[in-house]
Amino acid sequence: MRRLTLGTFALSALTLLLLGCDSSRSLDPLSASDEAAQAKGRAIPFATLTMLPSLGSNGVAYGVDAAGTVIVGQSFDRAGYLYAVKWTLVNGAWVIATLPYSGHAAYSARGVSDAGDAVGYFASTPRRAVRWAAAGGIADLDCAGEVGMSLAYAISADGAIAVGESNGRAVVWRPGPCRELLPSLPLSTGGGRARTVNGNGTIVGGSASLSTVDGAAPARWRGTGTAGEWQSELLDGRSGSALGANAPGDLAGYVVDPCTHPTINCTHAVVWYANGTTLDLGTLGSDYNVANDINSAGEVVGYNASFRGSSSAYIWSASLGGVRLLPDKANDAQALAVSDLRADGTRVAVGEAGASPVVWVIR
Query: What would the pLDDT profile of 167-178 be if each residue is shown by its tens digit?
Result: 999 999 998 778
Cβ 111 vs Cβ 62: under 8 Å: yes
**Is residue 265 domain-resident?**
yes
pLDDT tens, N- to C-terminus, the chain (363 residues): 333 333 332 333 333 333 443 333 334 444 544 555 444 555 678 999 999 999 999 999 999 999 999 999 999 999 999 999 999 999 999 999 999 998 766 899 999 999 999 999 998 888 999 999 999 999 999 998 899 999 999 999 999 999 999 999 999 999 877 899 999 888 777 799 999 999 999 999 999 998 888 889 999 999 987 667 899 999 999 999 999 999 999 999 999 988 877 667 889 999 999 999 999 998 787 878 999 999 999 999 999 987 566 899 999 999 999 999 999 977 789 999 999 999 999 999 999 999 999 999 999
The predicted pLDDT at position 336 comes to 98
**Is residue 232 domain-resident?**
yes
**CA 105 centroid distance within chain:** 22
Cβ 120 vs Cβ 108: under 8 Å: yes
The predicted pLDDT at position 283 comes to 76
**Is residue 317 domain-resident?**
yes
**Is residue 163 domain-resident?**
yes
Cβ 58 vs Cβ 106: under 8 Å: no
Burial class of residue 309, CB neighbours in 10 A (0-12, 13-18, 19+): exposed
Largest Cα–Cα separation, the chain: 65
| Closest to 294 measured CA to CA, from 165, 193, 196, 170 | 196
The predicted pLDDT at position 307 comes to 57
Cβ 73 vs Cβ 61: under 8 Å: yes
Question: Whole-prediction pTM value?
Answer: 0.88
The predicted pLDDT at position 80 comes to 92
**Is residue 8 domain-resident?**
no
> CATH code at 70?
2.130.10.10
The predicted pLDDT at position 38 comes to 47
Cβ 112 vs Cβ 71: under 8 Å: yes
**Is residue 3 domain-resident?**
no
Map the chain to HEC letters.
Answer: CCCCCCCCCCCCCCCCCEECCCCCCCCCCCCHHHHHHHHCCCCCCCEEEEECCCCEEEEEEEEECCCCCEEEEEEEECCCCEEEEEEEEECCEEEEEECCCCCCCCEEEEEECCCCCEEEEECCCCCEEEEECCCCCEEECCCCCCCCCEEEEEECCCCCCEEEEECCEEEEECCCCCCEECCCCCCEEEEEEEEEECCCCCEEEEEEEECCCCCEEEEEEEECCCCCCEEEEECCCCCEEEEEECCCCCEEEEEEECCCCCCCCEEEEEEECCCCCEEEEECCCCCEEEEEEECCCCCEEEEEECCCCCEEEEEEECCCCEEEECCCCCCEEEEEEECCCCCCCCEEEEEEECCEEEEEEEC
The predicted pLDDT at position 212 comes to 80
Rg for the chain, CA atoms, rounded: 20
- d(CA 161, CA 176) in angstroms, rounded, equals 11
**Is residue 2 domain-resident?**
no
| Closest to 329 measured CA to CA, from 351, 308, 345, 307 | 351
How many domains are contained in the chain? 1
| Closest to 64 measured CA to CA, from 355, 248, 340 | 340
- d(CA 72, CA 110) in angstroms, rounded, equals 6
Contacts of 362 (CB under 8 A, 6+ apart): 46, 47, 315, 320, 326, 346, 347, 348, 349
| Closest to 151 measured CA to CA, from 173, 134, 176 | 173
Strands of the sheet containing 356-362, edge to edge, are: 47-51, 356-362, 347-353, 333-338
Tell me the residue range of the domain where 152 lies. Answer: 18-362
**Is residue 270 domain-resident?**
yes
